[in-house]
Structure 1
Amino acid sequence: MILINLLPHREEKRRQRKRAFFAGLGASAVAGVAIVGLWYTVLQQMTAAQNSRNEFLVAEIKRLEAQIKDIATLRAEIEALKARQKAVEDLQTDRNTPVHLLNELVKQAPEGVYLTAIRQRGRVVSVNGIAQTNERVSELLRNALYNSPWLERPELVEIKASNVTTATRDQRRLFEFSMRVSIKRPQAPAPAPAASAAPAKAAVAKSS
């Protein structure tokens, strides 16, 4: 027996395709909304985590800035203390400078040279005196230049011959001179271990 379908099957298939299309469209929309919601949630979590890290970094930066300020303050205090220490050391050295100056002038002045006036302005000292000969003045300049740890840059300003009356009323031909010399601080002595190492090496060499 042959069955014949007289219903409008084409319209029925078309309606089925429409229903399937709209169902797929709805499912896609639902999936899209779910994906967008999930991505928004992930973005919110990432933003919150980044904000937390930013707040931590800001707090650490403020703490480091405070430490840097403290370090700068400590450095300024250290520099101030060093400046005070140097000022005290300079004052201590300057207090003893006149003693060393007079001692050096007496030590470096050769026989036949007599100092009549000494004036100091800062690190420069002006010296006036009388010498028996020009050679004595030259010797004083050489001694101040090469032999003194406290004197440097001696400079002869003037020298002239003059007749001087002695205590016995004798006329003697002497030379009046004036010179300038600078005061320097002697260098610190070399450390002792280097000096003591040489005898030790010599003793080892002898024993070998």
Structure 2
Amino acid sequence: MMRLNLLPWRERQRRSMLRRFQWMLLGSAILALCCVMLIDQLARQRAQQQATSNASHQSALALLGKQLEQHTDVRADHDATQAQVAALARLRADQGVLPALLADVEAALPAGLQLTELTLAHGRLHVTGVAASGAVVAQFMRDLERSAVLQGLALKHVKHLPSGDEFVLTARVSAFWS
């Protein structure tokens, strides 16, 4: 029988497979390197887009911040104006209180009574005067109690003098500014 030597053929086959494996390994490495570079490039591009987007958002936020400051200033001015309008409305509402108060005091003055001092402070009225008798003071107090402007009328003291009775009355003025 004839014997064939297959060693050289197997050796060539083995080298050929080794070369093919090396080329495939080299191709895989190059392909993997290309994939990594592509992914890196996409990641850098995405990061750049994100930075651009963040910069535009920051500029929009800065613009909104300026508008918010202006809005806050306008709101503060509006609140101050509203407070002034409310104060003016209170003053306008209280505008008739002083003439009404003086008219009520004048209408309540009986004969034989003389006012020496009339003080209005912090919504409180202090009346000092001299009367011919205690009955005149009582009549004056009854007439003042009918006033729509005065509340809580109180006689603080009466002092008997040779010229008459000196008295001090206090009352709270309703709807008066403070």
| TM-score, reference length from structure 1 | 0.64
2:34 alignment partner AA: A
Higher RCO (C-alpha under 8 Å, 6+ residues apart)? 2
Alignment root-mean-square deviation, CA: 3.3
Aligned positions, number? 172
What's the CA shift for 1:41? Answer: 2.1
Instruction: Measure, in 1, the Cα distance between the counterparts of 2:153 and 2:21.
Output: 112
Check conservation: 1:118, 1:127, Cα contact below 8 A: yes
More deviation, 62-71/110-119? 110-119
Q: Are 1:132 and 2:122 counterparts?
A: no
Check conservation: 1:124, 1:180, Cα contact below 8 A: yes
* C-alpha distance 18-101 of structure 1, shift in aligned 2 (>3 A): same
What's the CA shift for 1:185? Answer: 2.0
1:56 alignment partner AA: S
SS of 2:4's partner is coil
Q: Are 1:181 and 2:177 counterparts?
A: no
Q: Are 1:25 and 2:15 counterparts?
A: no
* C-alpha distance 15-127 of structure 1, shift in aligned 2 (>3 A): same
Percent identical pairs in the alignment equals 23
What's the CA shift for 1:62? Answer: 1.1
Matches within 5 A, 1:32-51: 32-51=32-51
Check conservation: 1:161, 1:175, Cα contact below 8 A: yes
What's the CA shift for 1:126? Answer: 0.9
Residues 17-57 of structure 1: per-residue CA shift (max 9 Å, x gap): 32233122112211211211221122122112212221221
Check conservation: 1:113, 1:136, Cα contact below 8 A: no
The unaligned stretches of length 5 or more in structure 2 are: none
Check conservation: 1:149, 1:185, Cα contact below 8 A: no
The unaligned stretches of length 5 or more in structure 1 are: 165-173, 187-208
